[in-house]
Amino acid sequence: MAATTATLAKGRRRAAGPLFVAPFMVLFLLLFLTPLGYAAYLSLFQERLVGGTAFVGLDNYVKAVQDPLLIQGVGRVALFFVIQVPVMLLLALVFALALDSGLLRLARVIRLGIFVPYAVPSVVAALMWGYLYGPDFGPFAQLSRALDLPVPGFLSEGWMLASLANIVTWEFVGYNMIILYAALRTIPQELYEAASMDGAGAWRTAWSVKLPALKPALMLTLLFSVIGSFQLFNEPNLLMKVAPDVISSSYTANLYAYSLAFTGQQVNYAATVSFLLGLVIVIASYAILLTANRRRTP
Amino acid sequence: MTTTAPPPAATSTSPKERRPATLRRRTPSSRRRSTPLTIAMLAALAYFLLPLFWLLIASTKSTQDLFNSFGLWFSHAPQLLTNVKETFAQDDGVFVHWLLNTVMYAVVSAIGAALLAAAAGYGFAKFRFRGDRAAFNLVLGAVMVPTTALAIPTYLLFAEAGLVNTPWAIILPSLVNPFGLYLMRVYAQDAVPDSILEAARIDGAGEARIFFTIALRLLAPGLVTVLLFTLVATWNNYFLPLIMLNDPELYPITVGLSSWAAQAQNGGAGTSSDMLALVVTGSLISILPLVAAFLLLQRYWQSGLAAGGVKQ
């Protein structure tokens, strides 16, 4: 009798695992894999003026990789990534180490204050910085005029990418800092004791104990940053209204896909561009993962 | 596209790192404080608070004062309450709709996403079944797929299903949070001891009951983390509602504010010339709830993040 209930319970138990997982997996299939597959499918067709939609194989991809607007858009976000992400992560790292060092007064206030921009929608962030950047009424312009200095052209062609980078940095340094700080807080005490026993000072401890322990968390923040910067959309889309001459509808790859789909009605080509952009991001993420793993196991 | 990536060093978790993250290891009083470092960090803090300070000041000004007075200090005639009143009254109170829509989209998505991720994370962490590893790796690979690569095809699919321009268009895609699932799995592994589950099973409790009465409680910090971060993601979402919705009554606050901003920047032609003041005041109102949520719940999300960020 006891044996049968045990087997019964075991059988029920084995069935329970898939049941817990099922709701998520069903939605994942419907809302993640299906759109992905649909994008791939759409990208193989073209809408013709005569004759409706026709299967064209990889023609859209051939067109896309030669499309100067797309290449420029991807190039721009790649440049953005190369400059903005290291600055942001370095700041986040320095702040996290400073908070963790125990040397700060008001550490709690500082930590939460730096994190607060994360809770601000990127729309609001872009609107605020848009006004702050303003060459006529922005406070920086006002100050420069009061001091008889040239007004900084934050919204000019040469500065725009840096101005966008500043907005994104402002939004996400705190978020990355919190992830790194949380990782630092879990380094076991014994490691510090061992380090101080070996005569390591604060800098040495940071370099030899804290940084290696931070590697997984840094990896995580780096991956999120790849995804975030290659998808850049909200900030340029909002600053576009302030500086329409500088930000075109193909300023970033994502902005380009959006305008193709919703202004140009070129659905199939838009799907191709989104799909390619996704591919670029996945490849970039893998490249980072692989280099990191190779370094870890020499 | 959906590839199976091992998480960076998922296996390198040593038992030592498995201590609850809430344990504080150092006594701050035993250390000396550094004034130069504090000053440097306060300077950094000033940079992060500057735009918010500007927003606070600006929301007390009329549109005219926004142009004519110095941006970083109050004008002679502060009128915060007038601005707030006008913000809520503009376009027959559409701002209230936007606020309520945002709250509804964000809360439903966050609770749904957190529960789905918790159940699935628990299922992957505590049960072995056929294909479990493959399914989990599939979801893990999806962490890297950008949401915008999905947004346009999702829009097209939803258009065919008649879901465009309904609240579902915003809520459904927000329910699937691959990173949330990953976080909950890692969290469930340690936070829910097998011994407790076994004891409950011996007492004859069903699996559903065990999950809802025991596991969910143990998973609370991780759950709150996923909840809060989905809440922020949905609250701040702009791209998805921008493409999915065209009825202003359904807009969340982000799309609504940007539509006002576009009107203000067009010189307010045909609309009230006070538009700019409304955009600014509306922005201020829109960020208050989230900031409050983060401050009130900080204990939870900080420990939940510690688990996810470290055990990668």
Task: Chain B: give the shortest CA distance to residue A41, in Å.
Answer: 10
* Residues of B whose CB is below 8 A from A258: 152, 239, 243
> Is the CB of residue B158 less than 8 Å from the CB of residue B244?
yes
Closest to B145 (Cβ–Cβ): which among A42, A278, A286? A278
Closest to B8 (Cβ–Cβ): which among A33, A139, A292? A292
* Residues of B whose CB is below 8 A from A241: 261-262, 265
Confidence of residue B39 (pLDDT cuts 50, 70, 90): very high
Buried b (16+ CB within 10 A) or exposed e, B241-262: bbbbbeeeebbbbbbbbbbbbe
CB contact under 8 A, B176 and A27: yes
Of the options 3.90.700.10, 1.10.357.10, 1.10.3720.10, 1.10.10.60, the CATH number for the domain spanning B93-310: 1.10.3720.10
* Encoded tokens for A287: 């490249």
Q: Does pLDDT of B142 surpass 80?
A: yes
CB contact under 8 A, B262 and A241: yes
d(CA A279, CA A70): 14
Residue % of chain A over a pLDDT of 70: 94
pLDDT per position as a tens digit, A21-80? 999 999 999 999 999 899 899 999 988 777 678 888 888 999 999 999 999 999 999 999
Residues 6+ apart with CB under 8 A from B187: B121, B219, B221, B222, B304, B307, B308
* Residues of B whose CB is below 8 A from A123: 236, 238, 254-255, 257-258
pLDDT score at B30? 47
Three-state SS for A165-181 is HHHHHHHHHHHHHHHHH
d(CA A228, CA A224): 6
> Is the CB of residue B118 less than 8 Å from the CB of residue A16?
no
- Residues B77-96 have a mean pLDDT of 86
d(CA B305, CA B183): 8
CB contact under 8 A, A28 and B139: yes
Confidence of residue B38 (pLDDT cuts 50, 70, 90): very high
Give the chain A residue nearest B141 (alpha carbons).
A282
Q: Does pLDDT of B310 surpass 70?
A: no
What count of other Cβ atoms lies within 10 Å of the Cβ of residue B42? 15
Q: What DSSP assignment string belongs to chain B? A: ----PPPTTTT---GGGGS-TT-----GGGS---HHHHHHHHHHHHHHHHHHHHHHHHTTS-HHHHHHS-TTS--SS--HHHHHHHHHHHHHHHHHHHHHHHHHHHHHHHHHHHHHHHHHHHHHHH---TTHHHHHHHHHHHTTS-HHHHHHHHHHHHHHHT-TTSTHHHHHHHH--HHHHHHHHHHHHHHS-HHHHHHHHHTT--HHHHIIIIIHHHTHHHHHHHHHHHHHHHHT--HHHHHH---GGG--HHHHHHHHHHHHHTTTTTS-TTHHHHHHHHHHHHHHHHHHHHHHTHHHHHHHHHHHHH--
Give the chain B residue nearest A297 (alpha carbons).
B9
pLDDT per position as a tens digit, B254-284? 999 999 988 887 654 444 457 888 899 999 9
- Enter the DSSP assignment of A116: G
pTM above 0.90, yes or no: no
* Residues of B whose CB is below 8 A from A42: 153, 156
* Residues of A whose CB is below 8 A from B183: none
Task: Chain B: give the shortest CA distance to residue A13, in Å.
Answer: 7
Confidence of residue A10 (pLDDT cuts 50, 70, 90): low
Q: Which of B128, B233, B154 lies closest to A267, judged by CA?
A: B154
CB contact under 8 A, A35 and B8: no
Closest to B306 (Cβ–Cβ): which among A170, A186, A286? A186
Task: Chain A: give the shortest CA distance to residue B272, in Å.
Answer: 19
* Residues of B whose CB is below 8 A from A112: 294-295, 298
Task: Chain B: give the shortest CA distance to residue A275, in Å.
Answer: 6
Please check whether residue A51 lies inside any domain of the structure.
no
CB contact under 8 A, A20 and B119: yes
Sign of CA dihedral B246, B251, B254, B257: positive
Please check whether residue A215 lies inside any domain of the structure.
yes
CB contact under 8 A, B310 and A17: no
Distance from first CA to last CA of chain B, Å, rounded?
Answer: 22
- Enter the DSSP assignment of A159: T
* Residues of A whose CB is below 8 A from B309: 179-180, 182-183, 216-217, 220
For chain B, the structural domain boundaries read 93-310
The three-point CA angle B303-B307-B311 to 5° equals 160
- Residues B7-21 have a mean pLDDT of 38
Task: Chain B: give the shortest CA distance to residue A277, in Å.
Answer: 7
Give how many domains chain A has, as a whole number. 1
Please identify which residue in the block is written with the tokens 């969290």.
B187
Q: Does pLDDT of B216 surpass 50?
A: yes
- Residues B81-92 have a mean pLDDT of 86
Sign of CA dihedral A281, A168, A217, A199: positive
Task: Chain A: give the shortest CA distance to residue B166, in Å.
Answer: 16
Confidence of residue B55 (pLDDT cuts 50, 70, 90): very high
Q: Does pLDDT of B84 surpass 70?
A: yes
Please check whether residue A4 lies inside any domain of the structure.
no
What count of other Cβ atoms lies within 10 Å of the Cβ of residue A297? 6
Residues 6+ apart with CB under 8 A from B145: A32, A36, A278, A281, A282, B1, B2
Task: Chain A: give the shortest CA distance to residue B91, in Å.
Answer: 20
CB contact under 8 A, A42 and B153: yes
Q: Does pLDDT of A298 surpass 70?
A: no
* Residues of B whose CB is below 8 A from A219: 8-9, 312
Q: What is the mean pLDDT of chain B?
A: 82
Mutation site, A36, A176, A186, A214, interface B, largest B CB count within 10 A: A186
**A6, A10, A13, A15: CA torsion to nearest 10:** -130
Name the maximum alpha-carbon separation found in chain B: 74
Q: Which of A212, A193, A208, A224 lies closest to A89, judged by CA?
A: A224
Q: A37, exposed or middle or buried, with CB in 10 Å at 0-12, 13-18, 19+?
A: middle
CB contact under 8 A, A189 and B25: yes
Parent domain of A192:
63-296
Closest to A217 (Cβ–Cβ): which among B123, B298, B309? B309
3-class DSSP state for residue A55? strand
CB contact under 8 A, B21 and A186: yes
CB contact under 8 A, B120 and A24: yes
Please identify which residue in the block is written with the tokens 């790796």.
B137
Please check whether residue A57 lies inside any domain of the structure.
no
* Encoded tokens for A215: 């590697």
Please check whether residue A25 lies inside any domain of the structure.
no
Residue type, B92: D
3-class DSSP state for residue A160? helix
The three-point CA angle A32-A55-B161 to 5° equals 40
d(CA B120, CA B138): 13
* Residues of A whose CB is below 8 A from B49: 113, 116
3-class DSSP state for residue A138? coil
Task: Chain A: give the shortest CA distance to residue B92, in Å.
Answer: 22
d(CA A151, CA A153): 6
Three-state SS for B163-176 is CCCCCHHHHHHHHC
3-class DSSP state for residue B235? helix
Give the chain A residue nearest B47 (alpha carbons).
A170
d(CA A200, CA A193): 10
CB contact under 8 A, B156 and A296: no
Closest to B232 (Cβ–Cβ): which among A119, A125, A136? A119
* Encoded tokens for B215: 């596991």
Q: Which of A184, A188, A208, A189 lies closest to A100, judged by CA?
A: A184
Please check whether residue A82 lies inside any domain of the structure.
yes
Buried b (16+ CB within 10 A) or exposed e, B93-107: ebbebbbebbeebbb
